[in-house]
Structure 1
Amino acid sequence: MTWNGEELDVAAYLARIGYDGEAKPDLATLRALHRAHVAAIPFENLEIMLGRPVLLDLAALQAKMVRQRRGGYCYEQNLLFAAALEHIGFTVKGLAARVRAGASSTRAVTHMLLDVEADGEHWHCDVGFGADGLLEPVPLRTGAAMRQDVRQGEWRYGVEAEEEGVRVLRTERSEGWFDLYAHTTARCLPVDYVVMNHYSSTHPRSPFIRRPVLQRAGFDVHRRLTGARLTLTRPDGSVDEHDVPVDELRDTMVREFGVELGDDDFTELVRMHYAGA
């Protein structure tokens, strides 16, 4: 198996994401699993912030995100999701994207997403992009049908076609459409994500090594904690944001993101990344 799905404790994974329905390889299950995973497992880069390597083998992913109930970033989350889908019987293909998200120059291909077959179609799945990410799969189409405008709850997403088969995933904000990332349908293998992960977790220009980041997408609100700045964004464009005092940081991480570090890890995180603590 490409994603080592046979090694997954699927019962523990389904319990972690709060899914108690029948797990079978059809579109209804795919949608439900995608929603449940995004709701349960937050985006976070805290291993990097604690000076530890980001491990991508399935045993490490299960230990961290399932048993320890932590989050992860794109490779961790989508590799775990791919293993779960493969175990259930879906056909899963790895893809990769260039994140745009307001960038003024072309970025390297560093983001992981998935192409999943269900009910005779291919579906763009991505449980690891963070607050602006998809809540449910969207069709992965070709030609004129590639262009889409879809609603997920009160959020609006679009897919636009560019030259050479490039697809651009966008989200609508109060100021207009905002490009999230661009990708093709070229296949990536697990070893490709090992290389991307090394860059993302160690390179001086990687955004993930600068400060702690926690994010969670939701149907009613997008949550972000960047350093000490907590931002809550709602579908109507309203934004609530404030700095979280260090003595409230731990409770905020648990309440807003479901991330609870052990005493030693939390103390080290504060010491390393929160000046004046």
Structure 2
Amino acid sequence: MASAYNSEQLTQFLDHIGVPTAFRHASPSLQFLTVLHVHTISTLPYENLSLHYNPSHEINLEPQHLFEKIITNKRGRGGFCMEVAILYNHMLRALGFDAYTAGVRTRPRIQGVPQGDFPGWGHIVNIVTFADGSKYHSDVAFGGDGATKPMPLVEGLVHENLGTQQIRLARDWLPSQALRVESSKLWIYQYRNSEVQDWNSFYAFAEVEFLQPDWGVVNHWMTTHPDSNQVKNLLVVKFLRRPKVSSEPDDQEIYGKQMLVNGTVKENLGGRTHTLKTCTTEENRIDVLGKVFDITLTDEEKLGIQGSPLQLQSGKVCNGSCDNCTKKAADGRKESIQW
């Protein structure tokens, strides 16, 4: 399928994410894909603000709407996984890459660690195939534990991620799968935060293309179901980029990330995650969105959160007794935020 974006929109995108001039007319290559990946995750934040700071509380995945919201409006916006990944996919196609999107099953975090079986579709990755037949996974919208560079679809190959974190792709069946033949195995994204720790499986995907209508179904559940992490939490994650010490002047690398989880601002510069600030009012949080993440909301968007369980009340912080927190406690488990 052809890209939804024309050459002018492609140029605007490359300008917006700061792709070096040397790559503006480059042919599809792993080096170019890596540049696009690094610049995308450090420019377009992973954020679900359109679900919370929005009178309609709906997320529109139509490609032209995504372009206007993320690129044209120039208000520092990104989007949650499907928003950024669909925009990115159409840009890859416009650049001549052989790319498609695939559905992902992501394990929920419990006490901060992915655990349990793999639920239904809840995430999206891009799969890119090069002329030599090699295939790469490029996930630009997973948030804090996402890959900072494209990963080849090669079983067991270990990659250095942010700080001491390592990542790899395993190849296996899911615990609940009944059909256990070689062709039914899935790619499983795994991580460990140091070499002495065990590998943990985070999400799984197959090399099966998802079409735009498929994402409409996933989007509906993710943005409306009360059990959805996106409904229960307000999230922003933005990676930090700097010049890489190398012989190539245009080389850039990811060296950290900044996060907003409901009202808490966090930062990780390659080691431990530190809390920078706790927002106590809506005014605090909107100020943080601007000063830390360079995100500007319209007056209408600011009013969109009124009446939401995630709204920060003026001059007070939730002490765990609000209706939303009480419901979470009644579930009998403590789920940490997935970002």
TM-score by length of 2: 0.74
Structure 2 residue 164 is matched with structure 1 residue 147: no
Q: Does 1:97 align with 2:104?
A: yes
**2: CA distance between counterparts of 1:70 and 1:115?**
24
Match of 1:161 in 2: 171
Paired residues, number: 273
In the alignment, structure 1 residue 231 sits paired with structure 2 residue 238: no
SS at match of 1:232: strand
- Which runs of structure 2 are paired with 1:134-213 in the superposition (5 Å)? 134-141=147-154, 146-152=155-161, 154=163, 155-163=165-173, 164-173=184-193, 176-213=198-235
Does 1:266 find its partner at 2:276?
A: no
Cα distance between partner residues in 2 of 1:271 and 1:221: 34
Query: TM-score by structure 1 length?
Result: 0.89
Is residue 35 of structure 1 aligned with residue 38 of structure 2? yes
Is the 1:173–1:237 contact (alpha carbons within 8 Å) kept by the matching residues of 2? Answer: no
**Which has a greater percent of helix?**
1
Distance 1:123 1:255 in 2: 35
Root-mean-square deviation (CA, aligned residues, Å) is: 2.2
Partner in structure 1 of residue 127 of structure 2: 115
Deviation at 1:99, TM superposition (A): 0.6
Structure 2 gap ranges (5+): 174-183, 241-253, 315-339
Structure 2 partner of 1:87: 94
User: What is the rounded CA distance, in whole Å, between the counterparts of 1:182 and 1:223 in structure 2?
Assistant: 26
Question: Percent same amino acid at aligned positions?
Answer: 21
Q: Which runs of 4+ in 1 moved over 6 A?
A: none
Contact 1:45-1:72 within 8 A present in 2 as well: yes
Structure 1 residues not aligned, in runs of 5+: none
**C-alpha distance in structure 2 between counterparts of 1:223 and 1:216, whole Å:** 5
Instruction: Indicate how the Cα distance of structure 1 residues 7 and 188 shifts in structure 2: closer, same or farther if over 3 A, else same.
Output: farther
CA offset at residue 245 of structure 1?
Answer: 2.9
Counterpart of 1:17 in structure 2: which amino acid?
I
- Could you list the per-position Cα deviations for residues 77-120 of structure 1 after superposition, in whole angstroms to 9, with x for gaps in the alignment? 11111111100101112211111142434311221101112352
What is aligned with 2:138? 125
Q: Report the 3-state secondary structure (helix = DSSP H, G, I; strand = E; otherwise coil) of the residue aligned with 1:221.
A: strand
> Are the equivalent residues in 2 in contact too, given 1:116–1:125 (CA < 8 A)?
yes
